[in-house]
Every structure is written in C-alpha cells, then in structure tokens.
C-alpha cells in the first residue's frame, strides 16, 4: 500500500485556515463592540486608508461624514478586521493561482480553490454592503455565514492537500448520512446565531432554563424572522421590539437542544464504529460550546465569553468537516486495488 504525500500548497492552505480563524474572531469582536460602522465608508475609513488620527484629518472626516463622528477605537476595530480579511483574500488568490498552474498534477484540487476565490470575492461585497446598508441584519448574517464558509472550505482544502490522514475502512451509509445531517444542523445553528447577533437578541433572555421566568414567554416570530426588513434605517443596536428578539433568542436555544441531541447520537455511533478519537473530539467541542452559550446568558454577554462562543461555533463546524471528510474519503487501499485491477484489465487482449 503506497502512502499519500503532502501536496504543494498544503502549508499555504494551513496558514490561510489559521488566518481565517482570526478573521472570524475579529469579525465577532467588531460586531460585539458595536464597531460595525466604526468606519462609515468602504474600503477606507472616512476617506483615508486608515483611521484618521490627527486633528486635521478628524476635522476633515467629520466634514465628509457629519452624521458619523469619529470614534478612533471603533474605527481601528473595523479597520484591523479589514486588513486581516484583505490579507486572507490575497492568500486565497495565491492558492487559486497555484491550483491553476498545477491543475494537471495528480491529486491537485482545482474546483475547491476556485470556489474559495469566488466565496472570498462575495465576502468582500458583503463586507461593503454591511457598511453601506448600515448593518442590515440580512447582510450582516450573510457576511458571518460567508466567513464561516471560507474557514470550512480552507480547512477542507488543507485536509485534501495534507495526505497525512490514514485511510478508514468503508463505513455504514447511515453513519455518513447522520454526519451529513449533523453538519447541516451546525450550519443552521450558526446562521441562527448570526441572526441573534445581528438583531441584538443575545440578552433577550437572561435566565435559564426559562426566559423571563416562563417556559414559553411572549414571542413575536412574525417580526423576529421577517426577512424583508426595510433597507434604510441604521440597524446599530437593532430595530426589533422585545417580543421579536425573544422569539429569535428562544429559537436559537431550541436549535441548540436539537443539535446537541443529534451530535450526542453521532458521537455514540462513531464510538460504536471504532472511531473513538473523532467521538471524543466531537463531545469536547460540544461541551465547550454549550458551556459558553450558558455562560453568555447567565453572565449577560461578557465580551470575552461572547467572542469565545463564536470560536466554539467555528471549532464545532471544523470538527464536523473533519468527521465528514474522514467518513467519506475513499480508502486508499481500495483505490490502489482498483488501479491495479484496471492496469491488469488493460493487459488482457480483447476477446480473451
């Protein structure tokens, strides 16, 4: 049995994956410090390449944007996120160029790097619209999902280029389907988390397991999930009333319960299949994420815990990407046998 070798571009993909983690966390920090409009324009800041620091530049900035007084700290929160995101975009461009140059090399992924390039271009557009549409929740949530998508695809590319993971035997189809369902639910829960954040509903309930002391409080689902909110008002701080925010918050809680049950079932099935390490990784990330979610409610959304909750969501997503990749990868031994059989078939004369 031959062993797969690490392909060129692995280190670059791994570096981009690590940088994507920082970009996701910086995005969360920017959002949680209410710095999403720290610079009222894009891609610069008040018409400058960086945050205006001198008195002259700040005076000029306030003439250009009289409705947005300069707040240096929030401006730097926003611009640092943009600098890191721009660097990440250049790395992904490098991966796409390298994939095109090596497209005929055995094992070289091509569609995935090109997809990543398309996603990061879309991310840049959503980053611009986040500012120009004044934190419109639909765009903010899509921007958050785009960041997690970029991270997941970079991690998948790193796995494909690594060549270091031993092949698994073929596993039951039901296990692969359950893992796929779990990944889909994690993505949905991240989207719900983005909707909670973009509508400032994280502290709509400050008690557990009840909300406002009730198991089923007053909730306005129609307005909470009204996806055609008007473009125009400044959504910094949110525009929804209490009942609508409560509906969003409670939906996220219920989603967390459903997801936890599915992940526990998946962990048990992985354990039964002899994949104890993958099961342990899944249980660890789930336990940390649930603990952080509970802490957010009971401690009233402290900044460090809220950012860590975003990191926990990313870790859970990457764990599911790894599990699905491992379960769906074609065993190397089987691949080699198929190649050998094909080679033998070519040596057999026609008609024999």
Residue whose structure tokens are 């920082």? 22
Of the listed 3, 78, 214, 338, which one is catalytic?
78
Whether 3 is a known active-site residue: answer: no
Name which of 240, 156, 148 is nearest 194 in CA terms.
148
List the structure tokens of 173: 């189809």
Cα–Cα distance measured from residue 325 to residue 327, given in angstroms and rounded to the nearest whole number: 6
Alpha helices in the chain (DSSP H): 10-32, 55-64, 72-101, 111-132, 137-162, 173-198, 221-224, 242-272, 276-298, 303-328, 332-347
What's the CA angle centered on 166, arms 282 and 345, to 5 degrees? Answer: 135
3-class SS of residue 69: coil
Could you tell me if residue 348 is left (phi over 0), alpha (psi between -120 and 50 degrees) or otherwise beta?
beta
Separation of alpha carbons 325 and 203, rounded Å: 36
What are the DSSP calls for 260-307, one per residue? Answer: HHHHHHHHHHHHHTT-HHHHHHHHHHHHHHHHHHHHHHHTT--HHHHH
Structure tokens that stand for 323 in this block: 């599990």
d(CA 42, CA 127): 8
CA geometry: angle at 77 spanning 74 and 80, to 5°? 145
With beta carbons less than 8 A apart as the criterion, state whether 159 and 165 touch.
Answer: yes
Active site residues: 78
């Amino acid at each position: 049995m031959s062993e797969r070798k690490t392909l060129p571009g692995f280190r670059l993909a791994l570096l981009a994956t690590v940088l994507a983690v920082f970009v996701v966390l910086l995005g969360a920090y920017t959002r949680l410090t209410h710095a999403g409009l720290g610079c009222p324009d894009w891609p610069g800041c008040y018409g400058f390449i960086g945050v205006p620091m001198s008195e002259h530049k700040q005076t000029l900035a306030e003439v250009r944007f009289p409705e947005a007084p300069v707040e240096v700290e929030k401006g730097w929160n926003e611009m640092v996120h943009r600098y890191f995101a721009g660097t990440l975009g250049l790395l992904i461009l490098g991966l796409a160029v390298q994939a095109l140059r090596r497209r005929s090399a055995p094992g070289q992924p091509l569609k995935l790097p090109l997809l990543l390039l398309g996603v990061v271009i879309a991310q840049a557009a959503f980053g611009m619209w986040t500012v120009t549409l004044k934190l419109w929740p639909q765009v903010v949530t899509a921007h958050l999902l785009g960041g997690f998508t970029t991270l997941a695809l970079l991690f998948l590319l790193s796995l494909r280029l690594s060549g270091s993971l031993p092949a698994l035997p073929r596993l039951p189809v039901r296990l692969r389907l359950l893992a796929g369902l779990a990944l889909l639910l994690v993505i949905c829960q991240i989207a719900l988390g983005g909707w909670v954040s973009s509508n400032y509903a994280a502290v709509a309930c400050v008690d557990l397991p009840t909300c406002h002391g009730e198991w089923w409080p007053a909730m306005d689902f129609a307005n909470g999930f009204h996806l055609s909110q008007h473009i125009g008002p400044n959504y910094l701080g949110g525009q929804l009333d209490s009942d609508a925010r409560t509906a969003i918050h409670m939906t996220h809680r219920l989603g967390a319960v459903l997801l936890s049950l599915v992940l526990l079932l998946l962990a048990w099935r992985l354990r039964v299949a002899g994949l104890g390490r993958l099961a342990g990784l899944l249980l660890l990330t789930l336990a940390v994420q649930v603990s952080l979610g509970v802490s957010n409610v009971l401690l009233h959304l402290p900044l460090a815990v809220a950012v860590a909750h975003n990191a926990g969501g990313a870790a859970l997503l990457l764990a599911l990407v790894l599990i699905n990749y491992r379960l769906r990868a074609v065993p190397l031994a089987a691949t080699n046998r198929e190649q050998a059989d094909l080679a033998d078939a070519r040596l057999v004369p026609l008609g024999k």
